[in-house]
Structure formats: structure tokens, C-alpha cells
């Protein structure tokens, strides 16, 4: 592995308000007293900006959704997204803006088809993700590009249409597209938003970021907290899915990992079950339609296998470890969630030697001309399984 020559450094920030779509700027926010923003894998990132009312002029005409926040670090765009809420506090003489990244639009668009159902017999998870994203975007574009890589996991998914002439519709619900995208992330489609582009697919395999990031003790401002949790640990996973669930289509809708024939008994325990005990977890994903779990791979089997890969041993991760300015990281190319880092940490009571972890979340704050960049790292895996307390 060739180490990179990047250094995180200490950035300075400027914040602008722009119209939806990002093509026309309204004003620059001066007197910013506090700025925080995140980048996150398989979720919507957020931004908060606080300014004094001395910069209130242009904000009097700013509205949620009509306008966006654009954050620049050393003249490079590092975050943007629509304003969701605004707090005008006359007593404190401040205005606070809350924004989310561009994929928040998908949370506010529904699957709504006319005349023709979306009902592929078997399609790659990434194809379904692509279709959902295009369906949300074509209704009213919000100025975003994306690239979705195949993941090699077939899925069947059905979205009913309505009769455009008569207004009749089978199905009864209009599902939020953002919720559907998160469901597909649990099955193996990773995604993250950086500025106005969405990276999607097997980010861990087809990684958009530069490689070669190796972090040692002095690359953190202080030794990060290494968390080891068994609260969601399991040595046997049972996953069910499909509209029928485990009670409707039992044979075709259940997958057990590690696979066994018949009920498990002490003589059948594998090495992990013998070491940690038989810890069984059951999960259900009813949105998967008519998945034949006897044919691999499939979304339900992937759910069980991925959870087992991540959680068969105690889950070890780093949460909000603050980076030192000397960290060998380029803000633009290395701080993309999904990036794989190598850790060589000895200052912690539980050392991490050549442990590879993927970047789950980036948290940035800027106040008083002081920048803080903290990262959350989790074990490798293609699922969005998120651990914590």
C-alpha cells in the first residue's frame, strides 16, 4: 500500500445562501459564529449555521426549500443542501439555519405511477435504487448528479400504478422514496452525498475516494475512544421478507445464516457459537417481494449474511475521533463516507494493528476560526448496520 501525501491542515470557511439548484447565489453569510456539518454513509447529512443579526439583511428574504446553504473550505465547496428550518432570535441577536443534503428531496417525493407498474421479475438492487432516484428526480429536478454501481444482488420489487383516466389505483399507499432507498441500503446498496453528487452501489468495492490512508496515534488530537459492543452481537441470524413474511411464504421467504438443516442442537454449533454462545437474532424486511431464498444471492440472504459478518464477534469501532491537522487526509478526496482506512493505534488500551475500517461519518465544526474534524469508523461490510449503545 502506497501512503498518500495529503495533509488535513486547518481550513477556513465561507458560507453562502443560494437559490434551489445552486446556480444563483443570494448572499454570503458574514459574522458566522458557529458552523457544523456532517457527511454520512446511507443517511442524510445535516448542516447548522449561526450568524449574528448584523448579517440579517439578506436572510429576511430567505425561505426554507427555496434556498440552499453552500459551505466552502479554503474556496472548495464541501457541503450544500436546502434550508429546512430557520430560527430568528431577537433576544440573542442571532439567526440559526438548519439544512440537509440534497437527498432530503427524496424523503419528500413518493412513488406515483400512471398506467404502468414497476414490477421487474428480477433486477439488481442498484437498478431498483437507480429507478427510484430517477422517479423522484424527474418530477422536479434539484440539481444533482449521481453514479450507481451494480452490487450483484437481485431483488424483486413491485410498485403499483393507478389508472390515469379513471383515477383507480391498486396498492393503497404512496411510499416515500427516501424510505425505500434506505431499505435498499440495508440490503447492500451504499450511498453518500458529497456536494451535488451521489456516490452509490458497492462503495466499499468500487470506491470513489483515494486509497492509502493510514492513521497512527499522532494523527488524532488525542487517543480516540475504541468502542467494543456486544449489544447487537449475534452468532446466528434468521432473516425473513416478502409480503407474505415468514407466516405466508415460509419456505421461500426465510434464510438462516450459518445455514443448517433442521433445528440447531449443541452438536451443530460452529466455532463462534461455541466461543460466544448461541446468540440468535431475527429480522424481517417485509418490503422485499417474492424473494426465492433457495436461489443465491438474494436480498434476504444478503441481510442475514452481512449482519453475521459484522456482528458475529463483538463490534469494534471508533466514534467521533478528532483528527489532528497532520492527518494524511485530503478533505476533498479522502473524507468521503465509504472510504477504507488502515489503523495502527497503540495508545489505546485495546490496540488496533492493521485494522481496516470504513468511514461511516464525518463531523465538522468551525467556531472562532478554530476547525474540528472528527470521524466515525466501523468494520468493513456492505450493510448499513449501525452500531452504538
Q: Is residue 303 part of a domain?
A: yes
Residue 45 makes CB contacts below 8 A (sequence gap 6+) with 37, 38, 39, 79, 81, 100, 101, 193
Instruction: Answer yes or no: is 23 within a domain.
Output: no
Same domain, 111 and 180: yes
Q: Considering 276, 308, 340, which residue would you say is the last residue of a domain?
A: 308
Same domain, 111 and 184: yes
Does 52 reside within a domain?
Answer: no
244 and 196 assigned to the same domain: no
Among 201, 224, 250, the domain boundary falls at 201
Q: For 197-221, b where at least 16 C-beta lie within 10 A, e where not — what string?
A: ebbbbbbbeebbbeeebebebebbb
In a domain, 15, yes or no: no
In a domain, 123, yes or no: yes
Q: How far apart are CA 274 and CA 288, in angstroms?
A: 33
Which of 308, 340, 363 terminates a domain? The answer is: 308
- State residue 83's pLDDT score: 98
**Is residue 72 in a domain?**
no
pTM above 0.85, yes or no: yes
Domain of residue 244: give its range. 236-308
What SS3 class is residue 43? coil
Report d(CA 164, CA 166) in Å as an integer: 6
Count of domains observed in the chain: 2
- From first to last of its 389 residues, the chain has per-residue pLDDT tens of 444 568 999 999 999 999 999 999 999 998 899 999 999 999 999 999 999 876 567 888 999 999 999 999 999 999 999 999 999 998 888 999 999 999 999 999 998 887 778 887 778 889 999 999 999 999 999 999 999 988 888 887 778 776 655 555 455 567 899 998 998 887 788 899 999 999 998 766 555 544 579 999 999 999 999 999 999 899 999 888 765 544 444 445 788 899 888 889 999 999 999 999 999 998 876 566 666 677 777 778 877 888 898 899 998 899 999 999 999 999 988 999 988 899 999 998 888 887 889 899 999 999 999 999 999 999 886 554 554 33
Among residues 98, 5, 37, which one has the least CA distance to residue 372?
37
Residue 265 in domain: yes
Look at residue 242 in the predicted model and tell me its pLDDT.
Answer: 62
Amino acid at each position: 500500500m502506497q501512503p498518500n501525501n495529503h495533509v488535513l491542515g486547518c481550513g477556513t470557511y465561507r458560507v453562502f445562501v443560494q437559490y434551489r439548484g445552486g446556480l444563483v447565489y443570494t448572499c454570503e453569510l458574514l459574522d458566522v459564529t458557529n458552523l457544523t456539518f456532517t457527511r454520512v454513509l446511507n443517511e442524510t447529512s445535516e448542516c447548522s449555521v449561526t450568524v449574528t443579526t448584523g448579517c440579517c439583511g439578506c436572510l429576511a428574504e430567505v425561505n426554507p426549500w427555496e434556498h440552499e446553504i453552500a459551505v466552502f473550505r479554503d474556496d472548495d465547496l464541501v457541503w450544500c443542501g436546502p434550508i429546512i428550518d430557520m430560527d430568528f432570535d431577537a433576544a440573542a441577536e442571532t439567526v440559526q439555519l438548519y439544512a440537509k443534503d440534497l437527498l432530503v428531496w427524496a424523503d419528500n417525493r413518493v412513488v406515483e405511477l400512471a398506467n404502468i407498474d414497476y414490477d421487474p421479475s428480477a433486477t439488481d438492487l442498484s437498478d431498483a435504487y437507480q429507478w427510484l432516484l430517477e422517479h423522484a428526480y424527474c418530477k422536479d429536478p434539484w440539481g444533482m448528479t449521481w453514479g450507481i454501481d451494480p452490487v450483484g444482488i437481485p431483488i424483486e420489487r413491485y410498485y403499483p400504478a393507478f389508472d390515469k383516466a379513471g383515477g383507480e389505483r391498486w396498492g393503497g399507499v404512496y411510499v416515500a422514496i427516501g424510505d425505500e432507498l434506505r431499505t435498499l441500503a440495508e440490503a447492500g446498496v451504499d450511498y453518500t452525498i458529497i456536494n451535488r453528487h451521489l456516490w452509490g452501489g458497492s462503495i466499499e468495492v468500487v470506491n470513489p475516494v483515494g486509497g492509502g490512508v493510514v492513521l497512527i496515534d499522532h494523527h488524532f488530537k488525542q487517543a480516540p475512544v475504541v468502542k467494543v459492543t456486544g449489544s447487537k452481537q449475534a452468532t446466528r441470524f434468521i432473516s425473513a421478507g416478502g409480503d407474505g413474511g415468514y407466516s405466508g411464504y415460509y419456505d421461500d421467504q426465510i434464510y438462516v445464516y450459518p445455514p443448517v438443516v433442521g433445528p440447531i442442537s449443541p452438536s451443530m454449533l460452529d466455532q463462534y457459537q461455541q466461543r460466544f454462545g448461541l446468540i440468535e437474532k431475527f429480522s424481517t424486511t417485509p418490503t422485499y417481494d417474492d424473494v426465492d431464498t433457495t436461489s443465491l444471492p438474494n436480498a434476504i440472504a444478503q441481510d442475514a449474511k452481512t449482519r453475521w459478518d459484522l456482528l458475529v464477534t463483538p463490534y469494534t469501532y471508533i466514534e467521533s475521533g478528532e483528527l489532528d491537522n497532520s492527518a494524511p487526509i485530503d478533505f476533498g478526496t479522502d473524507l468521503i463516507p465509504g472510504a477504507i482506512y488502515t489503523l495502527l493505534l497503540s495508545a489505546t488500551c485495546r490496540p488496533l494493528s492493521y485494522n481496516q475500517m470504513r468511514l461511516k461519518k464525518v463531523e465538522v465544526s468551525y467556531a472562532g476560526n478554530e476547525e474540528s474534524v472528527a470521524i466515525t469508523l466501523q468494520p468493513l461490510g456492505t450493510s448499513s448496520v449501525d452500531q452504538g449503545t
